[in-house]
Amino acid sequence: MSDIYRASTTAPVNIAVIKYWGKRDPKLNLPTNSSLSVTLSQDDLRTHTTASCSPSYPQEDTLLLNGSSQDVSGARTQACFRELRALRKQLEDSDSSLPKLSSFPLKIVSENNFPTAAGLASSAAGFAALVRAIANLYELPASPTDLSRIARQGSGSACRSLFGGYVGWEQGSAADGSDSVAFQVAPASHWPNMRAVILVVSAAKKGVSSTTGMQTTVATSSLFASRAAETVPRRMQEMQKAVQEKDFEAFGKVTMMDSNSFHATCLDTYPPIFYLNDVSRAAIKVVEAINTKAGKIVAAYTFDAGPNAVVYYLEENEKEVAGLFKAVLGEKDGWQGERGSKVEAGDAAGVQEEAGVAIDLLKDGVSRVILTSVGEGPVKTEKSLVNEKGEAMA
């Protein structure tokens, strides 16, 4: 059928090293502080999304993720659809030869290449891919910065997944959010040897959603204001400098301190919010032991709103960092792939003595590892998840 329009993209996950926590405007997802993240390689973690529209589709917009139908009636998804349609409408209004895609129902089909059960922040990749795919479908001239403004309304941290490499999100000050956009601090090629090992912690379901949690923090934590007003602005400067200078010790120290600061404000929330558990704390102990053994910071932990540890390190320290985890967690899922099989197991002596109890806790509590690296932003693909007849192929 010739009236089926389709465009596809992939988009990456990003893991913040300066954390986003707290909205000054919950409707527009405007944050109380700037943040900074590393975009992770789509070889390992990505959302693949096809946006499709047609006058022949049933009237309702739909979204299929990993084969299950998702609710698109929420304000966040609706905001993205509305903004993108408005931009398309402008094009159509200025050029009457263009097909009226903005008036057609949307059919979105998405797939993640990583287990949803892993509890990784998939909404960032998801909304980035959704916005990028629809922008491609509508042939919008919008830049990644423009799209970051839209994706932010879907999920705050999604705005950072519009860029590859090292990415900031400027909190901005405008009431309409027009200046609250993502920007690239440096491309992946600037500091390409950044690696990450993710320790996926087998956990019960997440207790508190991050949207609810962060607003309770803003309302009740007495320490939060100083984090937002003083700590984060200082660290944003330190972190950008560390990235520019490829200074891993500074990058690592600020990463760890900011993760701790974020979880401290969660604990200072009333009632308190706990994302770290005993296994998370064991990962911190093991990272500390790795750094003690190395005599410098070669590994840096960070935790999002959940118990999984993301440990950043440089390729040249792979044996000391990922290799140490392979030595003690070698039987877990995740070492079989191309990246994992290349990792040379490190020497657990020293670390074992320093953090023996912690290593035992990791062995019990980590369900799988994921190895990845810094990577690129969204990539257009010809591989469509909707066939020529307009049917989902997932």
If one asks whether residue 91 binds its own copies (CB under 8 A), the answer comes out as no
Question: Nearer Cβ to its own copies, position 109 or 256?
Answer: 256
Question: Nearer Cβ to its own copies, position 58 or 271?
Answer: 271
Output DSSP code: residue 104: S
Dist CA 64 CA 115 (whole Å)? 16
Question: Nearer Cβ to its own copies, position 1 or 204?
Answer: 204
Q: In the complex, what is the shortest distance from the CB of residue 311 to its own copies, in angstroms, rounded to a whole number?
A: 15
Residue 28 CA, chain-centre distance (Å), reads: 19
Tokens representing residue 33 in the block: 């502080």
From the list 55, 237, 270, 315, which residue makes contact with its own copies (rule: CB under 8 A)? 270
Contact set for its own copies, span 225-264 (CB under 8 A): 225-227, 230-231, 234, 253, 256-257, 260-261, 263-264
- End-to-end CA gap in the chain: 19
Give the relative orientation of helices 322-329 and 278-294 as an angle to the nearest 10 degrees.
Answer: 130
From the list 72, 250, 267, 392, which residue makes contact with its own copies (rule: CB under 8 A)? 267
Question: Nearer Cβ to its own copies, position 72 or 208?
Answer: 208
* Helix, strand, coil % over all residues of the chain, rounded to 5: 40, 20, 35
Contact set for its own copies, span 293-332 (CB under 8 A): none
| Dihedral sign, Cα of residue 191, residue 197, residue 203, residue 205 | positive
If one asks whether residue 363 binds its own copies (CB under 8 A), the answer comes out as no
Which residue bears the tokens 């792979």? Answer: 318
Region binding its own copies by CB under 8 A among candidate stretches 79-87, 105-113, 116-124, 281-289: 281-289
From the list 146, 268, 333, 376, which residue makes contact with its own copies (rule: CB under 8 A)? 268
Q: Centre a 10 Å sphere on the Cβ of residue 116 and count the other Cβ atoms it contains.
A: 11
Give the relative orientation of helices 210-220 and 248-267 as an angle to the nearest 10 degrees.
Answer: 80
Residue length, the chain? 394
Contact set for its own copies, span 178-217 (CB under 8 A): 204
Q: In the complex, what is the shortest distance from the CB of residue 279 to its own copies, in angstroms, rounded to a whole number?
A: 9
Query: Interface with its own copies by CB under 8 A: which residues?
Result: 204, 220-223, 225-227, 230-231, 234, 253, 256-257, 260-261, 263-265, 267-272, 274, 277-278, 281, 284, 288, 357
